[in-house]
Structure 1
Amino acid sequence: MSQFWRLDGPLQTLVLAAKQKRLPQVIYWGPPLPASDDCTALAAAHALDVTGGMLDANPDLSICPEASQSFPGQPGLICRDALGCVLRPEFRFVKDLAQGKNLCLTYADEDLGLTYEAHFELTDSSNILTCWSRLEATQPLMLNWLAAPVFPATQLSDAMISFSGRWIGEFQTHSIPWRAGIHKRESRTGRSGHEHFPGLILPEIGARNTTGRAYGFHYGWSGGHQMIAEELPDGRRQIQFGHACDSHDGLAQSFETAKLHTVFSDNGFNGCGIAFQRHLRDHILTFPKASLPRPVHYNCWEAIYFDHDLASLKDIATRAKDLGAERFVLDDGWFGQRDDDSSSLGDWQIDARKYPDGLDPLIDHVKSLGLQFGLWVEPEMVNPDSNLYRAHPDWVLGPHDQLLGRQQMVLDMARDEVQSHLYDCISALLESYDIGYLKWDHNRILPLVNVTQTQGIYALLARLRAAFPHVEIESCASGGGRIDFGILQHCQRVWLSDSNDALERSQIQHGAALFLPSLVTGSHVGPRLCHTSGRVFDMRYRAWVAAQRHMGFEMDPRELEAQEAQVLSEVTQWYKDNRGWLATADILRLDSSDPSVLAEMQLASDASRFVVFFNQLHSAQQILPRPLRLTGLDPKARYVLHLRNRDEVSKLSRGAPLLKSQDLQASGAWLMTHGLHLPYAMPGSIWVVEGQKL
């Protein structure tokens, strides 16, 4: 007896096949198949040969590979009973439920009292296939590992693209060659992490940003997670994602993975990026007022740090308003006895030394300028030097003699009393003051990886959002330490990195564009002297880098010279004039033959207009700029292109490329095949090319 299930979307088809009521395996995942293709014939064609040194048949690479079936690789489930004995289930079909593009398959091992569910949801508008697994047990058991539904990896790939990073260096892309055995990446820091972003791109040979076939994966979970990419002894390959091993404490009877978001692309890496961007934007994010444009953001952290002075803050807010800011965020140092990072986390009461009349005088001034007011908080953390810790040392996660991180510890978010206390503290602030935004920070890794910690923060955020739906929340974790589709069910913005170095920020944004749309990605104009790298960049470069995402400022506006202020105001106005269509635009990474150039194109949802950012990171090895091919255009349509910042052309540009002096009209075919010739660019500069469909 064979069984088949098929999910078809405009851009991809998934076919599952099972025999003898066993767990199914993916026998096809790729471009759309004709409806006439017979699943029985496909399953027969999927069968592999057997040769010497093998079993007499190939164990199924199923959606949950079973050790009981002599599977030679990583199983999809590892668990033990209450006595510690390893369980090796043999699941058999119970039922299926198909509703439109949604499919739920249920299997059971009656002898062991285990029920396994695999869920699949195909979203046509974003081209994302979302899947997750559930395990139910009649008796308590210990779970070591449960994978979301497992996918085979293409064998027409010679490398995989994974994402690592560090503080002020997030979303670094690495090409990892396939090899026999397991490539495993595991985050055990208790958050999605700078180090191991839970994403993967599998390109087929020859695929690039704009061409070729690729497969994308993102595990939407904000806690510890694990990814396994394995090449089996027989040559088959599998991809598994799930919570970090042993992150479930104690015995339980019900377990569920986070959602694994997957996509097949016939348009290179950009096909994956477009799908992830659209799915997050259109199906996961919820804004307090979605119809309002994204406000230009000002954060005072790198202007004042812990040195709070009401007169100075009012002056800074006024100057920020004059530059174009629409939101003012008061960062760390407003509460407890907080003069540095060694004390007062947990004491969420206004520091009367700095604000004897509370926050009202500052908020009143900010509101009088027409700005929204926002506030920094870090509720999940506590300093040993705090009233909260002295009153409740038992609320801390992990041992009391643990290593500190940034001189702080983590509160145990699994405890109801901790969640209730934090809700009371934050809600008191939101009820007392006109606050429209919270920058929610998370500056310390966890002392241990724990599923209930992540579930606890999700519950707290959900409760706050239900009570205060007008408040927008930003996810920050020393910058980009907690960015994933799980946390973004509860937040509306991410602080991509603590680095305001414009060159570093360009590279971080470029990597993140494979998953994040611009409207959720915070990007700020930093100080003239970058506080994390010590480098100095021209205001034009800093401003245009920030304008590529959700724009903001984080410098001290009192340091600006008149020319810098004028440039920043002009670029900010450009952002405001264009943010309406940019909010729903696709970010398309462009292929550059010059490694010193980082280029992207933001294409409107109706494809009527676009903007190209040509970022000259370093000095090129050749003298002249190489042509830059565009992508995503209608080959038969004609476009007019304008070099927005042609007044910034260097004296070293002595030739006459057309865009230097006038607009260019050309077909989409020309722009995507021949490409643009731009003037010579100095290192640390950006060309901004605006395009309109005629």
Structure 2
Amino acid sequence: MIQTWRLDCPDQTLVLAVRDSALAAIVYWGASLPDGENLQTIARAGELDVTGGMLDVNPALSVCPQASDSFPGQPGMTIRGEDGAPLMPKFSFERADEGQGALALHFRDVDLGLRYVAHFAIDAETRMISTRAELESDVVIRLDWLAAPVMPAPQLSDTMLDFSGRWVGEFQSNITPWSAGIRMRESRVGRSDHAHFPALIVPCRGASNTQGQAYAFHYGWSGGHRMIAEELPDGRRQVQFGHASGTQITPANRFETGTLYAVYSNTGLNGCAVGFQRHLRDRIVEWPDRDRSRPVHYNCWEAVYFDHDVTVLKDLATRAAALGAERFVLDDGWFGVRDDDTTSLGDWLLDARKYPDGLTPLIDHVQGLGMRFGIWFEPEMVNPHSDLYKAHPDWILGGSDQILGRQQMVLDMAQPQVCDYLFARIDTVLRNYQIDYIKWDHNRVLPYPDAVQTEGTYALIDRLRAAHPMTEIESCASGGGRVDFGILERTQRVWLSDSNDARERLRIQHNAALFLPMVVTGSHVGPRTCHTSGRVFDIRFRAWVAAARHMGFEMDPRELTSEEAEVLREVTSWWKANRDWRQDADILRLDSADPSVIAEQQQAADGGRFVVFAGLADTSAQIAPRPLRLTQLDGAQMYRITVLNRADAPTLSRGSPLLKQGSMEVSGAYLMQNGITLPWSFPDTMWVIEGVAI
């Protein structure tokens, strides 16, 4: 007996089947099937033949592959009794709960007293599949591994794409060939982390940014994850995501995975990217005021570091406002005796030496300039040299002899008194002053990974947001160390990297756009000499790279020449004039014929306008620029194309191509088949091209 279910959205169908009351399996996932497709046939059509050297029946690649079925690959669950003895469940189908675009499949192992539920939902507008697993037990058990419902991977794929990185070098792409066996990646530092963004993309053969088929996954959890992409001996492929193994340390009766987000695309990697961008922006992020324009950001960190002086900060605010800033963020150094990073984390009391009259004089000045005010916290951390640690050494996670990180330890967020204390201190600051923005930092990996730590942090943020619903929060963890859909259920912005090196940011932003929309991705104009790389970049390049995302400044505006200040004002004015339509735009990565060019097309929701950012990140191999093809335009529509910053062409650009002289009007077909021919430029140049449907 076979029971089947299907979930559909435009361009995508997911079919699940239960055979003989066993665990369900995904028997089809891909382009939309006709409404009248016989799902019983689909469930049987993919059955594998059996030959020598195999079991008489192929063990199912189910939503939770079972070791008890002699499954030859990684099981979807590894559990033990409270005494440590391995348990080998064998689940049977119990019931299905169906709703609009949603399905929950319930299974039970009566002998072991276990219940397993696989949840699936599909969003008709964003095209995103969301899935998670629950496990309950009649008795306390130990969980080593629980995968979110296991998804199949296509066999017409030669490679997989995932992302590694480091501090100031996040979102570096890895391309790995498929082969027999497992590619396993695991973040075990207690956060999603710079080195292990929790995602995987599986392009089918011939896919690119703009064309072909691709499948993509993201695990929405901030506490460390495990990813498995496995090819079985029989050729089948599975993808598993779950919490990092062994991080649910305490025996319990109930466990639940994070949400695994998955999407199929028949328009290349961009189809996956658009699904993630829209779902995050429109379904996951909770905006205090969705209709409010995103403000231009000024952060004082790289201008003053810990050297806070109210007179200097007021001057910085005045200069930032004159450049176009609309929010002023007071970074680390305002509390305790915080003159460097060795002391005072955890105390969260205003430093009277630096602020003898409190924050009110600075906030009044900032608000008098028409700006909002934000402030920095690092709530989960404590310095050994702090009043909090001296009073409560038992509040830390791990032993007192642990290796420090950035001169700090981690507070044990599983202890209710820790979270109560942090809530009280942060709540007091927010109630005493007109603050509507928090930069929430996390600068140290955990001494050991523990899922309860993340759950405690989530609960604290949820509690603060309930008390201060109009306060926005930025997730920062030494830059991009905690960027995932789990933290973004509770925050409205991410600080993608501590690097303000415009060349590095260009590539980091380009890769992150496979998952993140412009509206949540902070990007700042850094100092003339970058503090993390030592490189020097022209203000035009720095400004346009920042303008490609949620724009801000993070430098000392006193260093700007009058010409640099004017350039920054002009770019900022352009950003403000275009931010509202760009907040809902899709970021489409372009396939560049020149590998030195990193380019993207941001397209309005109605398709009537777009902007292309084309950054030259290296010296081209050929003399003249190659045409840059655009994507997803109406082939029959005419567009007016303008290079916004054509005056930036250097003197060595000696020719007279049309776009150096003014606008041109061409069809979408021409733009997609031939592309735009740009002026010659030096490396570290960003061309900005506007397109409007005529």
Q: TM-score, normalised by structure 2?
A: 1.00
> Is 1:23 the equivalent of 2:23?
yes
Matches within 5 A, 1:415-454: 415-454=415-454
Corresponding residue number in structure 2 for 1:302: 302
Deviations 1:587-617 (A, max 9, x none): 0000012111100000000000000011011
- Aligned counterparts of 2:689 and 2:224: Cα–Cα separation in 1: 41
Residue identity in the other structure for 2:174: H
> Is 1:91 the equivalent of 2:91?
yes
Deviations 1:549-591 (A, max 9, x none): 0000001000000000000000000000000000000000000
- Aligned counterparts of 2:264 and 2:79: Cα–Cα separation in 1: 31
Residue identity in the other structure for 1:343: T
- Aligned counterparts of 1:41 and 1:108: Cα–Cα separation in 2: 26
Corresponding residue number in structure 2 for 1:41: 41
- Aligned counterparts of 1:47 and 1:347: Cα–Cα separation in 2: 62
> Is 1:561 the equivalent of 2:550?
no
Q: Is the CA contact (8 Å cut-off) linking 2:203 and 2:213 kept in structure 1?
A: yes
Corresponding residue number in structure 1 for 2:640: 640
> Is 1:659 the equivalent of 2:659?
yes
Corresponding residue number in structure 2 for 1:124: 124
> Is 1:587 the equivalent of 2:567?
no
Deviations 1:482-539 (A, max 9, x none): 0000000110000000000000000000010000000100000000000000000000
- Aligned counterparts of 1:171 and 1:359: Cα–Cα separation in 2: 37
- Aligned counterparts of 1:43 and 1:322: Cα–Cα separation in 2: 64
Residue identity in the other structure for 1:529: T
Matches within 5 A, 1:626-637: 626-637=626-637
- Aligned counterparts of 2:18 and 2:287: Cα–Cα separation in 1: 42
Q: Which secondary structure state, in structure 2, belongs to the residue aligned with residue 166 of structure 1?
A: coil
* C-alpha displacement of 1:655: 1.7
> Is 1:601 the equivalent of 2:587?
no
Residue identity in the other structure for 1:572: T
- Aligned counterparts of 2:136 and 2:298: Cα–Cα separation in 1: 48
Residue identity in the other structure for 2:220: G
Matches within 5 A, 1:128-147: 128-147=128-147
Residue identity in the other structure for 2:51: T
Matches within 5 A, 1:322-401: 322-401=322-401
Corresponding residue number in structure 1 for 2:272: 272
- Aligned counterparts of 1:277 and 1:91: Cα–Cα separation in 2: 36
Q: Is the CA contact (8 Å cut-off) linking 2:9 and 2:125 kept in structure 1?
A: no
Identity, % of aligned positions: 61
- Aligned counterparts of 1:203 and 1:388: Cα–Cα separation in 2: 50
Q: Which secondary structure state, in structure 2, belongs to the residue aligned with residue 170 of structure 1?
A: coil
* C-alpha displacement of 1:250: 2.1
Give the number of equivalent residue pairs.
694
- Aligned counterparts of 2:44 and 2:573: Cα–Cα separation in 1: 61
Matches within 5 A, 1:44-55: 44-55=44-55
Deviations 1:85-110 (A, max 9, x none): 11111100111011110000000000
- Aligned counterparts of 1:194 and 1:686: Cα–Cα separation in 2: 26
Residue identity in the other structure for 2:481: G
* C-alpha displacement of 1:133: 0.1
Q: Which secondary structure state, in structure 2, belongs to the residue aligned with residue 390 of structure 1?
A: helix
Corresponding residue number in structure 2 for 1:526: 526
Deviations 1:206-256 (A, max 9, x none): 100000000010000000110000111111110000001010112100000
Structure 1 stretch displaced more, 8-17 or 128-137: 8-17
Q: Which secondary structure state, in structure 2, belongs to the residue aligned with residue 17 of structure 1?
A: strand
Structure 2: which 5+ residue stretches go unaligned?
Answer: none
- Aligned counterparts of 1:447 and 1:518: Cα–Cα separation in 2: 34
Q: Which secondary structure state, in structure 1, belongs to the residue aligned with residue 43 of structure 2?
A: helix
Structure 1 stretch displaced more, 586-595 or 35-44: 35-44
* C-alpha displacement of 1:398: 0.8
* C-alpha displacement of 1:202: 0.3
Corresponding residue number in structure 2 for 1:244: 244
* C-alpha displacement of 1:11: 1.6
* C-alpha displacement of 1:458: 0.5
Residue identity in the other structure for 2:18: A
Q: Which secondary structure state, in structure 2, belongs to the residue aligned with residue 239 of structure 1?
A: strand
- Aligned counterparts of 2:71 and 2:44: Cα–Cα separation in 1: 20
Q: Which secondary structure state, in structure 2, belongs to the residue aligned with residue 140 of structure 1?
A: strand
Residue identity in the other structure for 1:600: E
Matches within 5 A, 1:180-199: 180-199=180-199
- Aligned counterparts of 1:543 and 1:124: Cα–Cα separation in 2: 37
Q: Is the CA contact (8 Å cut-off) linking 2:296 and 2:550 kept in structure 1?
A: yes
Corresponding residue number in structure 1 for 2:316: 316
* C-alpha displacement of 1:399: 1.0
Q: Is the CA contact (8 Å cut-off) linking 2:18 and 2:93 kept in structure 1?
A: no
- Aligned counterparts of 2:432 and 2:44: Cα–Cα separation in 1: 67
Matches within 5 A, 1:215-294: 215-294=215-294
Corresponding residue number in structure 2 for 1:10: 10
Corresponding residue number in structure 2 for 1:499: 499
RMSD of aligned residue pairs (Cα, Å): 0.6
Deviations 1:315-342 (A, max 9, x none): 1000000000000001000000100000
Deviations 1:172-229 (A, max 9, x none): 1110111111100000000000010001100001100000000010000000110000
Residue identity in the other structure for 1:372: R
Corresponding residue number in structure 2 for 1:577: 577
Q: Which secondary structure state, in structure 2, belongs to the residue aligned with residue 42 of structure 1?
A: helix
Corresponding residue number in structure 2 for 1:201: 201
Which portions of structure 1, spanning 4 or more consecutive aligned residues, are displaced by more than 3 angstroms?
Answer: none
- Aligned counterparts of 1:596 and 1:487: Cα–Cα separation in 2: 34
- Aligned counterparts of 2:424 and 2:597: Cα–Cα separation in 1: 50
* C-alpha displacement of 1:300: 0.2
Corresponding residue number in structure 2 for 1:162: 162
